């Protein structure tokens, strides 16, 4: 992986190795994950989806030369992705109203707050450094377990996982990396690294949150 993104990814390698081997990930792709754990993950993901809509809107405002790309991604999150999410909920016997009523778990609140604060206060390249661990790690996970997808005995897991090895998704991730490389400044690599590592840790924590069914202690 050349370029600044490659440096960030290598710096986070220890964290990503833990992500790739997390029990939630391994069990989901093998089809042994209890469905209740997946339901918990999907319901929590609603809050994350809302945050991503706001992130792309912030990026559109911060990067004039790429405003069209980020505005379109915000629109896709609010329309196509939300409708895909609605269909996934129906497959699980849930509704969008059910997701909206769920209180975000502590890790979810921390992660989305971190992303929104970073993208509100920092430049577009730093914002991209904060969201790339989410987008790129899902692509790496799906590629790592590609051979298990077609044989996964749980239909909803198979369909969910297939999205992350699709040509459309891979193109999106590569485009986000390309724009990051275009906007990033070498002198700010230390800041990008800190943000990238924090987001990577939150990615691991999000899987852990879903696997443990994290709740507020009081």
Q: Give residue-wise pLDDT tens across range 160-193.
A: 999 899 898 898 999 999 999 999 999 999 999 9
Indicate if the alpha-carbon torsion angle 101, 107, 110, 116 is positive or negative: negative
Q: Has residue 205 been placed in a domain?
A: yes
Q: Give residue-wise pLDDT tens across range 19-53.
A: 999 999 999 999 999 999 999 999 999 999 999 98
- For residues 164 and 35, give the distance between their C-alpha atoms in angstroms, rounded to a whole number: 20
- For residues 71 and 107, give the distance between their C-alpha atoms in angstroms, rounded to a whole number: 27
DSSP 8-state assignment for residue 122: S
Tokens coding 136: 């790129």
- Unique residue bearing structure tokens 């989410």: 134
CA distances to 53, 101, 118, 128, 216 from 60, in Å: 11, 29, 14, 12, 34
Q: Has residue 110 been placed in a domain?
A: yes
Which residues span the domain enclosing 115? 3-212
pLDDT band with cut points at 50, 70 and 90 for residue 9: very high
Q: Has residue 35 been placed in a domain?
A: yes
Q: Has residue 218 been placed in a domain?
A: no
Q: Has residue 191 been placed in a domain?
A: yes
CATH number, domain of 21, equals 1.20.910.10
CA distances to 29, 184, 201 from 156, in Å: 11, 38, 27
Q: Has residue 217 been placed in a domain?
A: no
Tokens coding 63: 């990067």
Q: Which region among 8-12, 92-96, 167-171 has the lowest average model confidence (pLDDT)?
A: 167-171
pLDDT at 161: 93
pLDDT at 75: 84
How many domains, the chain? 1
């Amino acid at each position: 992986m050349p370029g600044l993104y490659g440096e960030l990814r290598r710096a986070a390698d220890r964290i990503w190795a833990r992500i790739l081997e997390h029990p939630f990930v391994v069990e989901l792709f093998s089809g042994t994950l209890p469905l209740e754990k997946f339901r918990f993950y999907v319901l929590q993901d609603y809050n994350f989806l809302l945050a991503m809509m706001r992130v792309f809107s912030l990026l559109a405002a911060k990067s004039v030369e790429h405003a069209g790309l980020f505005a379109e991604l915000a629109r896709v999150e609010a329309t196509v992705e939300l409708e895909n999410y609605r269909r996934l909920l129906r497959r699980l016997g849930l509704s969008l109203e059910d997701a909206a009523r769920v209180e975000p778990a502590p890790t979810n609140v921390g992660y989305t707050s971190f992303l929104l604060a970073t993208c509100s206060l920092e430049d577009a390249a730093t914002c991209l450094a904060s969201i790339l661990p989410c987008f790129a790690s899902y692509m790496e996970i799906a590629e790592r377990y590609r051979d298990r997808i077609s044989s996964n005995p749980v239909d909803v897991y198979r369909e969910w996982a297939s999205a992350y090895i699709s040509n459309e998704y891979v193109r999106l991730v590569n485009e986000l990396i390309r724009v990051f490389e275009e906007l990033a400044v070498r002198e700010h690599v230390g800041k990008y690294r800190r943000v990238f590592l924090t987001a990577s840790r939150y990615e691991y924590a999000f899987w852990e949150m879903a696997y443990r069914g994290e709740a507020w202690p009081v």
